Structure 1
Amino acid sequence: MLVLSFLALGVLWRRPQLDRLAPGRPLPEGLERVLRSTTLRVLVGAASAGLLMLVFATALVGEPTSALNLAPTFVYVLFWLGLVPVQVLLGNVWPALNPWLAFADAAAWVSERLGRTWTPPLSYPERLGVWPAAALLFCFAALELCYAQPASPRALALAIALYSYTTWFGMAACGRRTWAGRGEAFTVYFGLLAQIAPFGGRHGRLVVRTPLSGLAGRDTRPGLLAFVAVMLGSVGFDGLSRSPFWQNLRADVEGPYVLDSPRTAELLSTALALAGLLSCILVVALAYLAATRLARAMVESEQPLEPEFVRSLVPIALVYAVAHYFTLLLVQGQYGLRFASDPFGYGWNLFGTADFSPNIAPLSPNTVWYLQVGSLVAGHVAGLAVAHDRAVTLLPERDALRSQYALLALMVVYTVGGLWLLSRG
């Protein structure tokens, strides 16, 4: 399928298309005024800030059993997975939903009313790019995939507190919007996914545009490849860690210590998982670097191609997440109705949904497999199209096609790797 798509792109897509389609069509002014209104922004921000406080409170003082506490399901399912389709379908709504930004905006508003306008003492170093966001995203992935008790409400309370402190410190030091756009992991993450969406922003207007056209152009922010590699590599490691190979390796490492020193066994298991997570991230990044440098050599380009094609990995990161987690979202996400009535696990039934019984098999195994395979292939074809469009923008027609040979091989490797992880997990 990828090879056929590559051949079709070479024949039918000889001129840049995404840049031309990126401007889109502005939304009706009346609708845009409503969506951008201060009232709506304040209401949404207040609700989001209140939700953050609720989740933190449930994690801190609620029932310590994860199955009875809202926090694990909210953080790992409703927030981390549930916002992905929202961003991809509706565009970048995260800045309006960002509770850390809402708190910072509220603090700035109060400060201004008191006549104490805050001026950030530091200028954000351009060379840092999105490296802080990549580091924070890695920490989140490590908590979820490497820590022995990732669903522990108390561990999540500590993680929320540390992340909030780091975010607010960065905003106070470098400016609210500056830190959010470069140092706040979820803003960068959801912002990248929103570039796929049919809705976006252009020259201060909200627009309807062709899907994927938001990925047109180049993104030269330092650390972007590292960030995308964490997106892809963390999902890859999650699949690998469920495989019999990894389970056997883990048993060999921690087995001798399980009975005599369980704490040592837990630390060794965590260290092994961290090494595995880092390895998967490095494999993703090094494979991309090898492909782009080979492409550069094949066309004898004077400029490096690494920053030119990194956005083509975003659709792949999306479908990796969809293929691996959409069943978790469909099943575990239903528990949100139960937790709405009893978020702390205290036995409440505020809205009459505490006894809600989720449908644990909404789709058949065959349907799930076909959807997983189909989404993986479609995402890689989309990534190939984005890369091809960038190539025909940068290079003469013949060189543009030649430069894509290495990237086609990269997409094939990512596809095969994704299918293998799905089959083994």
Structure 2
Amino acid sequence: MPRNLAIAILIYAVVTWGGMFVYGRDVWLQNGDTFSVVFGILARFAPLELRVVDNTAVVSTCAGPACHHKTLECVNGYHCLVKVAPGQRQWNLRPPALGLLNDQRVTFSMMVLVIVLLATVTFDGLLETPLWTHILDRTLSDETRWVGSAALVLFSAGFLIVYLFFSALMCRFAQRYGEKNGAGHLNSTLDVASVFVLTLVPIAIAYHLAHYLSYLLITGQYFIPRVSDPFGYGWDLFGTADYKIDIGQLSARVAWYLAVTFVVLGHVFAVYVAHVVARRTFGGGRAALLSQVPMVVLMVLYTMVSLWILAQPMVA
């Protein structure tokens, strides 16, 4: 309902402005505003970048935590771009996913956020499968909402545990074979996890496209009547208030092939980025090769889960 949406926007605005007032604009947008952080992560995959030509002056005068912890982003980064003159900003074309290979430090909270991006969209797809309907049928009807909320938390936690397990395997391989091949290796599982977590971003983008494309094309049509009656008062400002939703905009066959294509391409990009990160981190020897095995296995398993969910009939 428009009223509920307006209330949600108002609450978000109050929280955002309050956070900026208490912690400062840059600190809040980089660490506290979920939308800003998520869009910053997704923008690393973009084929277009806006960078600061020379960020030396920006970094030298920066005294915030982002500079201290080496998390300041001066490519597609608001915090650097607003501190320089327009002449110091430069638009560039770049290969997709290149932004995932920069040397910006990934914090533990950002690592968890990337995993949650994967877990939530996967769980949302699971909600529409017969398996989830069967799970709900085995619970009391008045506890359905509680079951869904608890399952989402457990599902996200499970994703994080699985990812850390495979990161531990990568760390073990690197430590075992790194010295023999002269390759550098990281000291802990969390170090490895933070270095490789951005390689999962192409998968997150691909599955969001696969899962929400048909929803966007069909449900997005509600914008047409809503633009004529934005407040639900019965207006018809542009003559579109009586528009009927056309569910035939995207056929099931086309939607399926597009979804599979997105998932496969996303995993191809992810494997390639992981390969580059492994060679950069562990060198070009056996350590780099073996360190990629757990990550490839993890990506293949997630591909299987994603395709299985996409192949299920929608029952919810």
Both structures adopt the same fold (TM-score exceeding 0.5): yes
1:348 maps onto 2:223 in alignment: no
Q: Pick from 120, 133, 148: which aligns with 1:273?
A: 148
Q: Pick from 294, 319, 329: which aligns with 2:169?
A: 294
1: CA distance, partners of 2:166 / 2:98: 23
Q: Pick from 328, 335, 352: which aligns with 2:215?
A: 328
2: CA distance, partners of 1:405 / 1:206: 37
Whether contact under 8 Å (1:236, 1:418) holds in the other structure is yes
Structure 2 residue aligned with 1:220: 106
Structure 2 residue aligned with 1:28: none
Structure 2 residue aligned with 1:209: 94
The correspondence of residues 166-185 of structure 1 with structure 2, limited to 5 A, is 166-185=15-34
Amino acid at match of 1:342: D
1: CA distance, partners of 2:7 / 2:154: 27
2: CA distance, partners of 1:226 / 1:324: 21
Structure 2 residue aligned with 1:234: 120
1: CA distance, partners of 2:205 / 2:159: 15
2: CA distance, partners of 1:356 / 1:157: 23
1:284 maps onto 2:284 in alignment: no
Q: Pick from 289, 293, 296: which aligns with 1:401?
A: 289
Q: CA RMSD in A?
A: 1.7
Q: Pick from 305, 308, 314: which aligns with 1:417?
A: 305
Whether contact under 8 Å (2:278, 2:291) holds in the other structure is yes
How far does residue 252 in structure 1 lie from its aligned partner after superposition? 2.6
Whether contact under 8 Å (2:217, 2:250) holds in the other structure is no
Whether contact under 8 Å (2:217, 2:249) holds in the other structure is yes
1:159 maps onto 2:47 in alignment: no
2: CA distance, partners of 1:159 / 1:252: 33
How far does residue 254 in structure 1 lie from its aligned partner after superposition? 2.1
1: CA distance, partners of 2:216 / 2:222: 10
How far does residue 158 in structure 1 lie from its aligned partner after superposition? 4.2
Q: Higher relative CO (CA 8 A, sep ≥ 6), structure 1 or 2?
A: 1
Structure 2 residue aligned with 1:188: 37
2: CA distance, partners of 1:377 / 1:322: 12
Structure 1 window deviating more from structure 2 (318-327 vs 197-206): it is: 197-206
Whether contact under 8 Å (1:237, 1:277) holds in the other structure is yes
How far does residue 161 in structure 1 lie from its aligned partner after superposition? 3.3
Amino acid at match of 1:373: V
Whether contact under 8 Å (1:228, 1:314) holds in the other structure is yes
2: CA distance, partners of 1:253 / 1:238: 19
Could you report, residue by residue, the CA deviation over 1:124-158 in whole angstroms, capped at 9, with x for unpaired residues? xxxxxxxxxxxxxxxxxxxxxxxxxxxxx43x444
SS at match of 1:334: helix
How far does residue 350 in structure 1 lie from its aligned partner after superposition? 0.6
1: CA distance, partners of 2:186 / 2:125: 38
Could you report, residue by residue, the CA deviation over 1:227-261 in whole angstroms, capped at 9, with x for unpaired residues? 11221111111111112222122233224xxxxxx
How far does residue 192 in structure 1 lie from its aligned partner after superposition? 1.0
**Runs of at least 5 residues in structure 2 that lack an aligned partner in the other structure:** 53-88, 176-184
Whether contact under 8 Å (1:198, 1:211) holds in the other structure is yes
SS at match of 1:354: coil
How far does residue 220 in structure 1 lie from its aligned partner after superposition? 2.1
Q: Under a length normalisation based on structure 1, what TM-score does the superposition of the two structures give?
A: 0.59
1: CA distance, partners of 2:7 / 2:244: 30
2: CA distance, partners of 1:166 / 1:349: 33
2: CA distance, partners of 1:186 / 1:396: 35
Amino acid at match of 2:293: Y
Could you report, residue by residue, the CA deviation over 1:199-221 in whole angstroms, capped at 9, with x for unpaired residues? 11222433222211111134322
Structure 2 residue aligned with 1:5: none
Q: Pick from 247, 250, 256: which aligns with 2:136?
A: 250
Whether contact under 8 Å (1:217, 1:308) holds in the other structure is no
How far does residue 167 in structure 1 lie from its aligned partner after superposition? 1.6
2: CA distance, partners of 1:217 / 1:201: 14
SS at match of 2:225: helix
Whether contact under 8 Å (2:108, 2:194) holds in the other structure is no
Residues matched between the structures, number: 263
SS at match of 2:50: strand
Whether contact under 8 Å (2:203, 2:263) holds in the other structure is yes
Whether contact under 8 Å (1:200, 1:207) holds in the other structure is yes
Q: Identify if the C-alpha distance between structure 1 residues 343 and 302 changes in structure 2 by more than 3 Å, giving closer, same or farther.
A: closer
1: CA distance, partners of 2:155 / 2:102: 27
